[in-house]
């Protein structure tokens, strides 16, 4: 029997720490390879961590709510494997000219690749690990955290034949599903062409690598100026006479704040507004709700606004672009990944609907519903928050008329949707109560000039004022 330690995995993309939100196991519990043992929150999202071996939990070395640096041991497990020789003894017994041993398998945080970091961090004010271990029934000292080792290079293996079901164990299939990796596209390195956990992590790292070189800050950041308010982190108990309370900013809120500062001082923002009559769109919403072909789908004004944005992008394709700072080029996008700003208990995030331009109204409705539910449950994956092109933020649900939204870093524009209210409006020469709203469009003036931005916003309003254009302009 031996004690194996599981360290906080390398989260990659410049992130060097994570907060333990919840433990799913306790000392004495049996765990198996691939079993989720805890949930952690990084600056990107909340993620579940699977343990990479079998055994019985020996100790939990950090309590819930503790922020842990990458490389620190967070849980120890008693396994049935033969105990490996101590590093010092092994080094003394090894010949002087011996080749260095290949890097050991390094556990990786779900959704991120492995990367080495040279970042030096200041000592964290936290309870010492031995004290926490004692609370779990053991006083075993915890070794100092080691820098995570880089994974050994994978040998080249021919891809699996097209049409055959990839060979992989159930935990590996679950891991691939959680990471959004298609097993058929993974190069297997296991015996007999079996896909291993390392193969899946390598594929995930390869998919994320191009994003790490992006010139803008974290794509998970979201508009702050007019975005929906989010739940405030519970403040520590304070004396009734206290005049101030300090709340630590970390995780999603921390990266959102950093990205908003970067966006505000990097992209030259321009905001335009338009107020118009959406009575016909509101009538169409009611008709679509009664349509048997759309039974079971969530039909609301935001769905038709999203569709109107997609129609306006088709008429003004140059608005769908990004700025390449390194190359000093405008990159036109021939796809639309439509971001939806979502308020969650942990902060504001902007997942996006991939290839929204190619979806039918029903498919768009399903994607919107799934996106919102996943975000509120804290299960949005990092992949779902990458590569957005244009974002919608609906502040109208809170009774707000409009605002000046800040661009989601790396995107060309963001549309704030204001409250839809009955107001006196001149219609056919007479003042009547009509449903009226205001849209605010902020855009990057390096990519979109005043004429293009104005045409784009006017087209969105035109579609919503006369929704038959959803057909005639498509």
State the CATH number of the domain containing residue 134: 2.40.50.100
Q: What is the pLDDT of residues 122-149, one digit of tens each?
A: 444 444 443 333 344 433 443 444 444 4
User: How high does pLDDT run on average in the chain?
Assistant: 76
Is the pLDDT assigned to residue 206 strictly greater than 80? no
Indicate the pLDDT class of residue 256, thresholds 50, 70 and 90: low
Active-site residue flag, 445 = yes
Q: What average pLDDT score do residues 359-374 get?
A: 92
Q: Does 66 fall in a domain?
A: yes
Handedness of CA 217, 218, 222, 225 (dihedral sign): negative
Return the C-alpha torsion angle 124, 253, 25, 32, nearest 10: -100
Do 320 and 439 share a domain, yes or no?
yes
450/237: higher pLDDT:
450
Residue 306: enclosing H or E segment and its boundaries? helix 301-315
Rounded to an integer, the average pLDDT of 98-116 is 43
pLDDT exceeds 60 at position 233:
no
Residue 223 falls within a domain, yes or no? Answer: no
The domain boundary residue, chosen from 147, 164, 198: 147
Six-digit token pair at 45?
């999202």
**pLDDT band at residue 259 under the 50/70/90 scheme:** low
Q: 157 in a domain, yes or no?
A: yes
Angle (CA) 96-102-107 rounded to 5° is: 140
Beta strands across the sheet bearing 67-69: 46-50, 36-41, 17-23, 67-69
Residues 125 and 165 in one domain: no
- Indicate whether 335 and 383 sit together in one domain: yes
The C-alpha atoms of residue 30 and residue 286 are separated, in whole angstroms, by: 53
Q: What is the pLDDT of residue 275?
A: 97
Using pLDDT thresholds of 50, 70 and 90, give the confidence band for residue 204.
confident
Residues 270 and 416 in one domain: yes
Number of domains comprising the chain: 3
Candidates 403, 387, 406; CA nearest to 395 is 403
Per-residue pLDDT band for 90 (boundaries 50, 70, 90) equals very low
Confidence of residue 152 (pLDDT cuts 50, 70, 90): very low
- Report the pLDDT value the prediction gives residue 101, as an integer from 0 to 100: 45
244 belongs to a structural domain: no
Assign 108 to helix, strand or coil: strand
Highest mean pLDDT among 182-196, 226-240, 418-432: 418-432
Of 1, 8, 2, 248, nearest to 107 (Cα)?
A: 8
Which of 255, 260, 192 lies closest to 406, judged by CA? 260
Same domain for 128 and 188: no
pLDDT digits (tens, 9 = 90+) for 289-330: 999 999 999 999 999 999 999 999 999 999 999 989 888 899
Please check whether residues 201 and 340 belong to one and the same domain.
no
Task: Read off the tokens for 289.
Answer: 């709700």
pLDDT at position 11 is 53
- Token readout for 155 is 């040998």
Helices and strands (H, E) in the chain, number of each type = 10, 21
**What's the distance, Cα to Cα, between the start and end of the chain in Å?**
67
Alpha-helix runs per DSSP H in 316-425: 361-376
Do 169 and 48 belong together in one domain?
no
Residues 6+ apart with CB under 8 A from 279: 427, 434, 435
Same domain, 363 and 426: yes
Query: Do 111 and 189 share a domain, yes or no?
Result: no
**Would 356 be classed as within a structural domain?**
yes
What pLDDT does 108 receive? 44
Yes or no: say if 309 and 324 are a contact pair by the CB < 8 Å rule: no
Q: Which residue has the higher pLDDT, 235 or 15?
A: 15
- Is the domain of 95 the same as that of 187? no
Return the higher-pLDDT residue of 278 and 126. 278
pLDDT, mean of residues 334-342: 94
Domain check: are 116 and 9 in the same one?
yes
* Structural domain contains residue 219: no
When pLDDT is averaged across residues 48-67 and rounded to a whole number, the result is 89
- Domain that residue 187 falls in: 153-213
3-state secondary structure of 434: strand
Within-domain flag for 392: yes
| Residue that is last in its domain, among 213, 233, 264 | 213
Residue 218 resides in a domain:
no
Q: 334, 427, 445, 466: which is the annotated catalytic residue?
A: 445
Lowest mean pLDDT among 3-7, 106-110, 310-314, 333-337: 106-110
Q: What is the pLDDT of residue 15?
A: 61
Element (H, E) at 173: helix 170-179
pLDDT for 379 equals 81
| Domain harbouring 181, CATH code | 4.10.320.10
Domain of 388, CATH number, reads 3.30.559.10
Q: Sheet containing 2-7: which strands, arranged edge to edge? A: 2-7, 73-79, 55-60, 30-31
Domain's final residue, options 125, 147, 169: 147
For the chain, the helix, strand and coil percentages under 3-state DSSP, each to the nearest 5: 30, 25, 50
Q: Do residues 185 and 324 share a domain?
A: no
Q: What CA–CA distance (Å, rounded) separates 435 from 143?
A: 65
For the stretch 297-308, pLDDT in tens is 999 999 999 999
Q: What is the average per-residue pLDDT within 241-264?
A: 70
pLDDT at 156: 41
Q: Are 301 and 282 in contact (CB under 8 A)?
A: yes
Q: What is the DSSP string of 19-70?
A: EEEEES--TT-EE-TT-EEEEEE-SS-EEEEE-SS-EEEEEE-S-TT-EEET
3-state SS record for 155-171: CCCCCCCCCCCCEECHH
């Amino acid at each position: 029997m031996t004690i194996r330690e599981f360290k906080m995995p390398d989260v990659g993309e410049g992130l060097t720490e994570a907060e333990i939100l919840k433990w799913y196991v306790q000392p004495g519990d049996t765990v198996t390879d691939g079993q989720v043992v805890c949930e952690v929150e990084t600056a990107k999202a909340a993620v579940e961590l699977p343990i990479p071996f079998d055994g019985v939990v020996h100790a939990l070395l950090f309590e819930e709510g503790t922020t842990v640096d990458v490389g620190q041991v967070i849980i120890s497990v008693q396994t049935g494997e033969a105990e490996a020789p101590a590093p010092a003894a092994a080094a003394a017994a090894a010949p002087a000219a011996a080749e260095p041993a290949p890097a050991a398998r390094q556990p990786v945080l779900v959704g991120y690749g492995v990367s080495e970091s040279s970042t030096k961090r200041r000592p964290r004010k936290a309870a010492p690990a031995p004290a926490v271990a004692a609370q779990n029934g053991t006083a075993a000292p915890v070794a100092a955290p080691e820098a995570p080792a880089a994974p050994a290079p994978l040998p080249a293996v021919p891809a699996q034949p097209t049409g055959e079901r990839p060979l992989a164990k159930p935990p590996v299939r679950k891991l691939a599903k959680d990471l959004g990796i298609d097993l058929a596209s993974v190069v297997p390195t296991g015996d007999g062409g079996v896909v291993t956990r390392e193969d899946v992590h390598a594929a995930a790292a390869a998919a994320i690598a191009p994003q790490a070189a992006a010139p803008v800050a974290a794509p998970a950041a979201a508009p702050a100026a007019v975005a929906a308010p989010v739940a405030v982190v519970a403040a520590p108990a304070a004396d009734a006479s206290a005049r101030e309370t300090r709340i630590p900013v970390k995780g999603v809120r921390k990266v959102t704040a950093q990205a908003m500062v970067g966006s505000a001082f990097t992209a030259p923002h321009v905001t335009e507004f338009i107020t118009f009559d959406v009575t016909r769109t509101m009538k169409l919403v009611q008709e679509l709700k009664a349509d048997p072909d759309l039974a079971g789908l969530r039909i609301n004004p935001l769905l038709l606004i999203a569709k109107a944005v997609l129609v306006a992008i088709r008429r003004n394709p140059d608005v769908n672009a990004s700025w390449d700072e390194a190359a000093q080029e405008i990159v036109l996008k021939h796809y639309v990944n439509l971001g939806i700003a979502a308020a969650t208990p942990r902060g504001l995030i902007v997942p996006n609907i991939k290839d929204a331009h190619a979806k039918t109204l029903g498919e768009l409705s399903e994607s919107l519903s799934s996106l919102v539910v996943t975000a509120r449950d804290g299960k949005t994956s990092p992949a779902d928050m990458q590569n957005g092109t244009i974002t919608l933020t609906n502040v109208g649900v809170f009774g707000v008329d409009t605002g000046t939204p800040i661009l989601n870093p790396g995107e060309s524009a963001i549309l704030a949707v204001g409250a839809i209210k009955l107001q006196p409006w001149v219609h056919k020469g007479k003042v009547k109560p009509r449903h009226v709203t205001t849209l605010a469009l902020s855009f990057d003036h390096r990519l979109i000039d005043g004429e293009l931005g104005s045409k784009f916003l006017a087209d969105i309003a035109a579609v919503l004022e006369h929704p038959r254009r959803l057909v005639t302009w498509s």
